[in-house]
Amino acid sequence: MAECEPNAPQFMDLTVPEYAYMFGFLQADGHLYQGAGQKGHLSVELNSRDIDLLYRFKHLTPYNSSVTERTRSTNFADNHNSAVWTLCSLEARTKLNNLGLPHGRKSRLIAPPRVAFSKRDYLRGLIDADGSIGHAGQGVPFVSLTTSSTAIAAYLCAYARDITGAERTANRNTRDEVYNLTYEKEAAQILAADLYYSGCLSLGRKQVKADAAASWTRPYDMRIVHSRRWTASEDQTLLQSDDVAEVAAKLGRSEQSCRMRRWRLRNCRMLMPNDQ
């Protein structure tokens, strides 16, 4: 797909694939600072190996912006080389904020846009910024996203269910209180092929991994596990009884599954079915 030519009226038209991707990436990995009066700026800092993407953002933006490089000490390396894209235009910042890019700390606040947008390009932007794609143990392909936003977690679950048929329930983990959503095997292959289509705007290294996912073939001795999605009526039945064995028999589920589900419901570690 040919990249769109930037112009002010079209900037951040989220029906344009490149802008939908860019907006998803900015929601996850951008920082919108608001200063006194009309002062402020938007910045994205990436490892220098991904500097090409920042130049693509610069090209897509019809306002003055800059890409610079710096070396600094971090918790992970004494000499970390990074690249920073910076945009100061008030008009551009206002448009992004109105679309749903909050000022300051935003990890729990972000949500899918309320205007028309290119869904798979938007999700690819989120995954490029805050997700992973590749091969896990035994060479099994996977696609994952880590987010603090309930709205984003629910949206990915719904989108991936429609594309792959794989059911996921979004649960915050107990350590970080974030959602870790992972798709593996055939579901990951289908999702990767849908999101990382030929010619799309993406991080080059993740595009390579998405393409590689297509080569995986399930070993003949690896069984397919079909999971059943919990329904609201099953949750109600589970919560109304103290006899796990009786409920498990009634619902046709294992006692272990019922115990875990009830613990999660009682400790608010998941999105309830009615809320998804």
Domain C-terminal end among 213, 245, 267: 213
Identify whether residues 141 and 168 lie together within a single domain. yes
Q: Which residues pair with 47 in a beta bridge?
A: 82
Phi-psi region of 245 (alpha: psi -120 to 50; beta: other; left: phi over 0): alpha
Assigned domain for 119 exists? no
The two structure tokens encoding residue 236: 């109600």
Report the C-alpha gap between 196 and 193 in whole angstroms. 5
Helix axes 150-164, 185-195, angle to 10 degrees: 100
Q: For tokens 């919560």, what's the residue?
A: 239
Report the C-alpha gap between 145 and 273 in whole angstroms. 20
Identify whether residues 130 and 207 lie together within a single domain. yes
Report the C-alpha gap between 54 and 67 in whole angstroms. 7
Ranges of the chain whose pLDDT falls below 70: 1-5, 8-9, 76, 221, 223-227, 268-276
Identify whether residues 177 and 138 lie together within a single domain. yes
Domain C-terminal end among 74, 104, 134: 104
Phi-psi region of 165 (alpha: psi -120 to 50; beta: other; left: phi over 0): left
What CATH number is associated with residue 81?
3.10.28.10
Read off the pTM. 0.79
pLDDT 10s digits, 35-74: 888 899 999 999 999 999 999 999 999 999 999 999 887 7
Assigned domain for 220 exists? no
Identify whether residues 203 and 240 lie together within a single domain. no
Assigned domain for 11 exists? no
Assigned domain for 88 exists? yes
Assigned domain for 147 exists? yes
- Cα within 13 Å of Cα(97), Cβ side: 17
Identify whether residues 33 and 65 lie together within a single domain. yes
pLDDT of residue 152: 97
Identify whether residues 180 and 244 lie together within a single domain. no
pLDDT of residue 81: 92
How confident is the prediction for the chain on average, in pLDDT?
A: 89
Assigned domain for 100 exists? yes
Assigned domain for 244 exists? yes
pLDDT of residue 227: 65
Q: Phi, psi at residue 225, to the nearest 5°?
A: -100, 125
Identify whether residues 66 and 26 lie together within a single domain. yes
Assigned domain for 113 exists? no
Report the C-alpha gap between 108 and 3 in whole angstroms. 31
Query: What is the domain count for the chain?
Result: 3
* Domain, as residue range, for 247: 232-275
